[in-house]
A and B are shown apart, each in its own frame.
Chain A
Amino acid sequence: MKTYDIVIVGGGPAGLAAAVAAKEAGNDSILILERDHELGGILNQCIHNGFGLHTFKEELTGPEYAYRFIKQVLDLGIEYKLNTMVMDISAEKIVTAMNREDGMFQIPAKAVILAMGCRERSRGALNIPGYRPAGIFSAGTAQRLVNIEGYMPGREVVILGSGDIGLIMARRMTLEGAKVKVVAELMPYSGGLKRNIVQCLDDYGIPLKLSHTVVDIEGKEHVKAVTIAEVGPDRKPIPGTEERYTCDTLLLSCGLIPENELSRAAGVKMSTVTSGPIVNESLETNIPGVFACGNVLHVHDLVDYVSEEAKRAGQNAVKYINDGCKLPAAEDKVIEVTATEGARYTVPSTINVDRMDDLLTVRFRVGDVYKNSFVSVYFDDERIMHNQKRILAPGEMEQIVLRKSQLQEHEGLKKITVKIEKE
């Protein structure tokens, strides 16, 4: 089997953008491994529009957005293998993969870019009580059945969770003639984008019930009815608030989980907040030469940010190889980046000033809805950024941009803290 400088695990938006950036940065030895039968990842089933406003300044559908990158991959002659499952990544960066044609094979790589994306939280993981009949789908599975396979799962729908895929599927099922009766959300706020609530629920008169959850599923063979109830501040159902909806389908859009089984097995250290790898300014994990980007790193709201992040991972992988695959600098050069008081996490978690670009985007999410608050950044104990925001919500990713010169000016800087402040 051929060896490659860079093996990219996953041919979705993150993997494609990383590959293009790596190639444009001058590396010609790149291989993308994709488990599906085409490149593009989950975008292929996202046939709605709204993709690419930041990247291309126009509104594209998912497949159109993906194709912009697929075309570059093809034009640049980047190699890829489809229907190929990566079975293992070793700490020594030997990638073991398998498909029908090549069988099982191993590729020693100089750099590996993790771009496996995420999966949906299942009914089982949510511990929803009731029967376990047919008719219960994660929203993404239903999206695949409707948009790729061309089949309707049912006609009367209840949706639990207001993640973006659930909101998009509420509209999609409605357009296909189904009746979406209600969207129940456990939290007192939606986990999705505001624009999706307006365009997918409000425009179709679909009620969104915040602080509600499913307390029973009826039907032994197929879903017959779903009961929802209001929950209190402890997120436990309040007796007496039950409402029963007859339906044949229950869709779940209750959160996405980065797919890091391969990363964990390789020995990559994980964040308990994001369930993704802990990375430095170069989007590099604790294993030198193993980079992560896209939803495998942390769940994004917009694909545009995935592409942007993946581009950096691709460029940094090339830089790592061109620098002779050196180990990262000693710990004392490393500045810790942390999130507190309303900010849940930051990506990256550490910055080595010597290795950072002139501008570095730090992304994070908040843990609650904050109105007229400030995103503050502290360099050790000194507040150096204080940006007012009209609204901050968990469903939207936030970012701050750090300048290299700014960090260099603060000699001896140990810690950068991001927090949300009332004033």
Chain B
Amino acid sequence: MYDVIVIGAGVSGCAVARWLSRYELNVCVLEKCEDVCEGTSKANSAIVHAGFDADEGSLMAKLNVRGNEMMDDLAKDLDIPFKRNGSMVVCIHKDELDGLKVLYERGVKNGVKGLKLLSKEEVLELEPNLSENVEGALLAPTGGIICPFELTIAMAENANENGVEFRFNTRVEDIKKGEDGLWHLRTNNGEYKAKYVVNAAGVYADKIHNMVSADKMHIIERRGDYCLLDKEVGGHVSHTIFPQPTKYGKGVLVTPTVHGNLLVGPTAIDIENKEGTATTAEGIDALTAKASENVRNLPMRNVITSFAGLRAHLEQHEFVIGEVKDAPCFIDVAGIESPGLSASPAIGEMVSEMLKEKMSLKEKENWISTRKGITRTEGLSIEEMNALIKENPAYGTIVCRCESITEGEILDAIHRPLGARSLDGVKRRTRAGMGRCQAGFCSPRTMDILSRELGLSYEEITKSGGKSNIVIERTKGEV
């Protein structure tokens, strides 16, 4: 029996888990996939939004601005990269310049600091690769870029270190209130019981909500296609470049990533398929065309991968965070689409405050607020590298050539709390396989390491759990 069960180990679930881990509580996170950060959290724009976009007075606006404010300290505490590169909303039609003013005023009301309207000349001086048609822009210096994998993984690791349990490959199939007054969660891995349930199930949040409530929820899966470009062209723009927003969202952006790639996306296509993360040729063509309206000479021949993510969109376009009316002790964290990543720390804080009050929680005396990330070799001096290699020779072996990731980093990723068990698990923790060859060279080597360290046979190694095995059997004859 747990005090709190969190359903879903995406960025919201992990944030809730991390903030709940401050208190004297038994918390368990149930995740249907084999790792954290497997849904919406792994395929998005990787942006920490400034907060001028959401409607004034909305929960979205409040949590976006609060999450943005919290990000510097959180990144420091959890040892993850975060950069305030600044966001720009670009206007390319003179008659739409008023739209920038509306955003500016909304941003000011939302509490966004440092907003500034820029003239054409000022914009082009800051971003020479923008379209010559640009008429002006809204600059938000507090906009930032972050790695969504590292943010989610770091919060999960920190929660785990503070005693939160994680159950992977565990899908919630039904939820009932038992006669004992507890929530009974039927899963493919047996039954779990808890006093409180937090539904942070992303695009499945409606399905989970509807298990306990007569007031039905409907999440629309809004697919976004993205292209990721080589680091060679990562400096094409330095700010995050947005078009002016439409009713489908913030539009196709062009942004550097915190690791130095260039990211272009997303499209916005409503699909009604919770697993529909297939990209389409039309989607990729559309985003290239859209992004090219604002950014000149977009180097699309340097694309190293394309992917699609699903936004968990609710018709009212608002976060739904709170106790479900007809299901006491059941907390929804639903409709977490953009700016969900930016808001995640504030979501964690809000839910933990809510439960603190309801459950009269006591803070732990020995809560560990910080987490040490994987020791990165990138950018170390020769002396620092040699000190590291002397201590552990595995840091002298490069496994991923494109991103210069050493065996030492991969071993760390496997053996740390909630460590990697698959190629994608290693990739999202270390970046091995995330470079321009897209794991062509390093996947057999990473498989060797996973096999050796986890005692798995080659056939058991997966790309990302489940049935995603890389090889199926031995070749003919003796090897």
Contact = CB atoms under 8 A, between A and B. Distances in A.
A120 interface: yes
B474 interface: yes
A232 interface: no
B463 A119 contact: no
Interface string B188-212: 0000000000000000000000000
Contacts of A134: 462-464, 468-470
Interface string B218-241: 000000000110001000000000
A152 interface: yes
Contacts of A132: 277, 307
**Contact size range, A:** 35 or more
Interface stretch (B103-111, B142-150, B335-343, B391-399): B391-399
A250 to B, nearest CB: 13
Contact of A150 (B228, B436, B472, B475): B475
B362 interface: no
A141 B444 contact: yes
B463 A133 contact: yes
Contact of B389 (A104, A119, A221, A264): A104
A100 B277 contact: no
A153 B390 contact: no
Contact of A87 (B397, B404, B468): B404
> Which of A106, A120, A151, A220 has the most CB atoms of chain B within a 10 A radius of its CB?
A151
Interface stretch (A123-131, A297-305, A317-325): A123-131
A129 B401 CA distance: 26
A222 B469 contact: yes
A123 B438 contact: yes
A35 B398 contact: yes
A98 B398 contact: yes
A127 B284 contact: yes
Give the secondary structure class of A's interface: mixed
Interface string A58-100: 0000000000000000000000000101010000000010111
Contacts of B386: 103-104
Interface string B438-455: 111101100100000000
Given A120-B440, A145-B471, A177-B476, A131 B284 contact: no
A178 to B, nearest CB: 10
Contacts of A122: 304-305, 436-438, 440
A151 B471 contact: yes
Nearest to A98: B396
A132 B309 CA distance: 12
Given A98-B398, A103-B396, A151-B474, A127 B443 contact: no
Contacts of A237: 281
Contacts of B283: 129
Contact of B444 (A98, A148, A221): A148
A140 interface: yes
B75 to A, nearest CB: 27
Interface in A100-120: 100-106, 119-120
B473 A151 contact: yes
Q: Which of B232, B277, B284, B437 has the most CB of A within 10 A?
A: B437
B303 A127 contact: yes
Contacts of B469: 134, 222
A402 interface: no
A120 B402 CA distance: 13
A149 interface: yes
A176 B476 CA distance: 6
B284 A100 contact: no
Nearest to B469: A134
Interface residues of B, number: 55
A124 B393 contact: no
Contact of A221 (B284, B443, B468, B471): B468
Interface in A354-387: none
A106 to B, nearest CB: 7
A421 interface: no
Contacts of B475: 146, 150-152, 176
A129 B277 CA distance: 10
Contacts of B385: 98, 103-104
A154 interface: yes
Contacts of A148: 444
B276 to A, nearest CB: 9
A138 interface: yes
A264 B231 CA distance: 13
B440 A153 contact: no
Contacts of A48: none
A101 B462 CA distance: 31
B133 interface: no
Looking at B385, B437, B471, B476, the one whose CB has the most chain A CB atoms below 10 A away is B471
Contact of A99 (B304, B397, B468): B397
B466 interface: yes
Contacts of B227: 127
A87 B378 CA distance: 11
Contacts of A98: 385, 389, 396, 398
Interface in B350-406: 382, 385-386, 389-390, 393-394, 396-398, 401-402, 404
B394 A100 contact: yes
A111 to B, nearest CB: 23
A221 B459 contact: no
B274 to A, nearest CB: 11
A124 B304 contact: yes
Contact of B303 (A102, A125, A146): A125
B267 to A, nearest CB: 12
A46 to B, nearest CB: 16
Contact of B390 (A87, A96, A103, A264): A103
A28 interface: no
Nearest to B301: A125
Contacts of B401: 35, 85
B26 interface: no
Contact of B279 (A129, A151, A152, A218): A129
A248 B468 CA distance: 11
B58 interface: no
15 contacts: A85-B398, A101-B396, A119-B441, A122-B437, A125-B305, A133-B463, A141-B439, A141-B440, A145-B444, A150-B474, A152-B473, A152-B474, A152-B475, A154-B472, A176-B475
Interface of B: 227-228, 232, 275, 277-281, 283-284, 303-307, 382, 385-386, 389-390, 393-394, 396-398, 401-402, 404, 436-441, 443-444, 447, 458-459, 462-464, 466-476, 479
Given A85-B401, A134-B464, A220-B277, 15 more contacts: A85-B398, A98-B389, A100-B394, A104-B396, A120-B440, A123-B305, A123-B438, A125-B436, A129-B281, A134-B468, A146-B475, A151-B473, A151-B474, A222-B469, A261-B402
Nearest 6 pairs between A and B by C-beta? A124-B305, A150-B479, A122-B438, A151-B471, A100-B396, A134-B463
